[in-house]
A and B are shown apart, each in its own frame.
Chain A
Amino acid sequence: MPRTPYTRPVLAGLTALTLAAPGAAAAQWSAGSEDSSWGVDVSLILEGIYFNELSHGNDSPAGFGDGHDHGHDHGHDHDHGFDDGFNMGHSELALNAQLGDLFDGVLILGFDDSDIEVEEAYLTTRALPGGFQVKAGKFLSNIGYINSRHPHDWDFVKRPLVNEYLFGDHGLHDTGVQATWIAPAEMYTQLGVELLQGDQDEGIAAFDSDLPVSSKSGPRVATAFAKFGPDLGADHAVQFGVSGGYVAQTGLAEEHGDHAHGLEGDAWFAGLDAVYKYSSGRAYGHGDWNLKGEYFYMRQSLDQYEGHEHHDHMDWERAGSLATKQDGLYLEGVYGFAPRWEAGLRTEALGLTNDAVEGSHHHGHDYFEVESMGTSYRHSAQVTFRPVEPVFLRAQLSQNDFVDDHGHRDRGLEFMLQLNVALGAHGAHRF
């Protein structure tokens, strides 16, 4: 799907629809003023993590390190890499307000001890007819399952590898517009599309402005997703999702003094996700099960450029093309083994298919090539205690089994202790 001249009118149309439709049918009826759900709800989520690296393995998985995933470890302070000892973790201040029943506004600030970042700032329509809803602003994309969830909602301390390395440290998280539609059907059926600016530091949509190719104007990322949830009665609940996206421009550049090389092209990705929850009906989550898994696959078609410095500027020439293929998955299960206690296991694989970009050096000449690399794994086990509703304490052990770019496999073991407290009007959780 190349970027077309329609994008802008479509965006403008969506925005107009968002603003006009509910306005036309403005609240002709109002509830008792005592309804407390109309003000601003504030919630504060504080997290602390004690981290201990018991043994050191490879730092990053092959094919996802300094290749195309450029900038991943580069001076990005908010990267959730933990130091040995005490860490601030990932804390959030969330504000949530309603404009009548027309819009919900959400602002979520994420912070640690050095940074504050606007994680989400968006409006959601509440009053469009026909089962439609439009979200506009900066938000977490609804692709997959974990991507749209905030860390305090996860069952494990760290973001799954597949989400982190395909989409970045915050997942696919961007400014744009989302439209969803819920079918008026017995089975829950949600269809959605998103147009996103593509302003990413990391992952599949990252683009390095040093490249000779001019940056395409946004939106550069388009996604689509569908979610299905049949009704399985009181004990069981399940949701299946399929999602994918097209990235109109991705690329990276590397400078080596008087010469440089870079890659520019487009990419697409597709994935499946499923979540199953069993509710035992006993108090405090005792006997409940929660299973989920996701798989994502991505391909990039890239043109290679070589640059030579000439009179203080870089002369670039195109030098062939490359195609990458990479994927990853995780599966996790959590069981409530006692009232207020849970234990969980997660297994992850990254690069089951791993035809990735690799920087090469040959005859005094730097260039990129595609190489088939090995698969990296991570296995985690956790125990969580929830003494009272808004607090959890989690101990997690993770074994990183990463293969490096040269095929060497090295295992590392990490221990994490996470304390997470939600204060204030903490909103309802999605399924």
Chain B
Amino acid sequence: MSWRKTRIRITRTLATLASVVFLALLLLPSQAAAGLNIVATTSTLGALAREIGGDEAEVRVLAPPDRDAHYLDARPSFMAALRRADMLLEIGAGLEEGWLPAAQRGANNRAINSGQPGHFRSADMIELRRSITLDGPNMGHVHEEGNPHFNADPLRMAQIATALGERMGQLSPDHAAAFMERAERAADRLRNHAETLAEKVAPDQRIVVYHEDLDYLEEWLPVEIVGYLEPAPGIPPTARHLRSLVSDLEGTEGTILYAEFQPPRGAEFLERNLGWSSHAVPLDPPADSSLDGYLDLMTTWAQTLPQR
């Protein structure tokens, strides 16, 4: 039967084509760059890895710094990056739970599996603040482990830098000493810069933030969080909630901070009704930053507040 012959011919052609594609992909110059191939979920972690890795690491950041890292898609490009990674560097504690597990599973790369040395989960290295998601009604994600937005705390980032330097050294023992030295230096710079900035801020500042993503400012700046624009985490501001914030805070002084990707309307309402100044700030440094990018971001946060 000629159809059977045709089919055999088609099958053979397809098989040949498939082998050619397979070989071509295998022989691609897949990792031209020497050193550790690190994929970081956020640009804050990317900045640390770049600082510690120097020329001995290639760092790729997945989450665009101007986006909410809770809500991303497990993009094909993420899986392609993770497929080639020696190390996955994540925040953890639920920040990336909506997309990272799917990307990790889809990457077919054992080196970055949970439990492998190539999987670095920052939340495991530090003490977390309690998350306010535990207080309210159970709506949306609940961060049982604690508040995952510790990228706003340079003191915790310093601890993470040290742990990261040690881990990178395990993966690349030839450079362990250099990694550890740069990690310690990065940790010192973070602590010193935090101290310098905190000294310049006028004491006893009160701030209103949008989500619990700037709570960690309390850990190193003389500020107190006195309210959230969201009525509950993940729920956009309602008129009723904003009015109750205004009546609670009327006659007091303070500052309103929110992330660049969050809608400004709630902050503007408070600004009009309380006379407080409001500022949209980045939560993470630019994607290709090294430590300097993060130090600049700390300055930006601190300088939205009244200075001494």
A residues sitting closer than 8 Å to B (CB atoms) are 1, 22, 27, 29-32, 34-38, 98, 100-101, 104, 124, 126-129, 131-133, 180-191, 227-232, 234, 237-239, 277, 279, 281-285, 301, 339-340, 388-390, 427-431
Please state if B106 and A229 are interface contacts (CB–CB under 8 Å). Answer: no
Complex Cα–Cα for A124 and B144 (A)? 28
A-B contact pairs, 16 of them (CB 8 A): A1-B11, A29-B116, A31-B116, A101-B115, A124-B105, A131-B83, A133-B108, A188-B83, A227-B76, A231-B77, A238-B76, A281-B261, A283-B236, A389-B140, A431-B74, A431-B75
Residues of A within 8 A of B3 (CB): 301
- For the A-B complex with A38-B115, A428-B97 known, give 7 more contacts whose Cβ atoms are closer than 8 Å: A184-B31, A185-B25, A187-B80, A229-B76, A230-B77, A237-B76, A282-B263
Contact flag A31-B124 (CB < 8 Å), given A189-B80, A283-B236: yes
Complex Cα–Cα for A58 and B183 (A)? 70
Residues of A within 8 A of B193 (CB): none
Q: Specify the main secondary structure of chain B where it touches its partner.
A: loop
Please state if A279 and B73 are interface contacts (CB–CB under 8 Å). Answer: yes
Please state if B100 and A428 are interface contacts (CB–CB under 8 Å). Answer: yes
Contact flag A339-B110 (CB < 8 Å), given A101-B115, A237-B77, A428-B101: no
Complex Cα–Cα for A38 and B25 (A)? 34
A-B contacts counted at CB < 8 A amount to 161
Of B18, B80, B98, which contacts A185 at CB under 8 A?
A: B80
Please state if A388 and B73 are interface contacts (CB–CB under 8 Å). Answer: no
Contact flag A388-B235 (CB < 8 Å), given A27-B115, A191-B22, A427-B101: yes
Residues of B within 8 A of A191 (CB): 18, 21-22
Within 8 A of A (CB), among B1-42: 3, 11, 18, 21-22, 25-26, 28, 30-31
Complex Cα–Cα for A339 and B261 (A)? 12
Contact flag A428-B74 (CB < 8 Å), given A185-B25, A283-B261, A340-B236: yes
Query: Which 9 pairs from chain A and chain B are nearest by CB?
Result: A229-B76, A188-B76, A231-B77, A234-B64, A101-B113, A188-B80, A428-B102, A183-B25, A389-B140
Complex Cα–Cα for A126 and B18 (A)? 24
Contact flag A281-B236 (CB < 8 Å), given A126-B105, A131-B109, A427-B102: no
Complex Cα–Cα for A339 and B234 (A)? 12
Contact flag A31-B108 (CB < 8 Å), given A230-B77, A283-B236, A283-B262: no
B residues sitting closer than 8 Å to A (CB atoms) are 3, 11, 18, 21-22, 25-26, 28, 30-31, 64, 66-68, 71-77, 79-80, 83-84, 97-103, 105-110, 113-117, 119, 121, 124, 139-141, 144-145, 234-236, 261-263
A186: nearest residue on chain B (CB-CB)? B80
Residues of B within 8 A of A22 (CB): 110
- Which of B73, B80, B99: most chain A Cβ within 10 A? B80
A239: nearest residue on chain B (CB-CB)? B76
Residues of B within 8 A of A184 (CB): 25-26, 28, 30-31, 83-84
A35: nearest residue on chain B (CB-CB)? B114
Complex Cα–Cα for A401 and B77 (A)? 39
Of B25, B97, B110, which contacts A126 at CB under 8 A?
A: B110
B110: nearest residue on chain A (CB-CB)? A127
Complex Cα–Cα for A339 and B237 (A)? 11
Distance between B13 CB and nearest chain A CB, rounded to angstroms: 13
A228: nearest residue on chain B (CB-CB)? B76
Please state if A188 and B79 are interface contacts (CB–CB under 8 Å). Answer: yes
Please state if B98 and A428 are interface contacts (CB–CB under 8 Å). Answer: yes
Distance between B291 CB and nearest chain A CB, rounded to angstroms: 22
Contact flag A127-B113 (CB < 8 Å), given A37-B101, A185-B28, A189-B80: yes
Complex Cα–Cα for A307 and B110 (A)? 57
Residues of B within 8 A of A31 (CB): 114-116, 119, 121, 124
Please state if B67 and A279 are interface contacts (CB–CB under 8 Å). Answer: yes
Complex Cα–Cα for A429 and B101 (A)? 9
Residues of A within 8 A of B79 (CB): 182, 188, 190, 229
Please state if A128 and B108 are interface contacts (CB–CB under 8 Å). Answer: yes
Distance between B68 CB and nearest chain A CB, rounded to angstroms: 7
Residues of B within 8 A of A190 (CB): 79, 106
- Which of A31, A104, A124, A232: most chain B Cβ within 10 A? A31
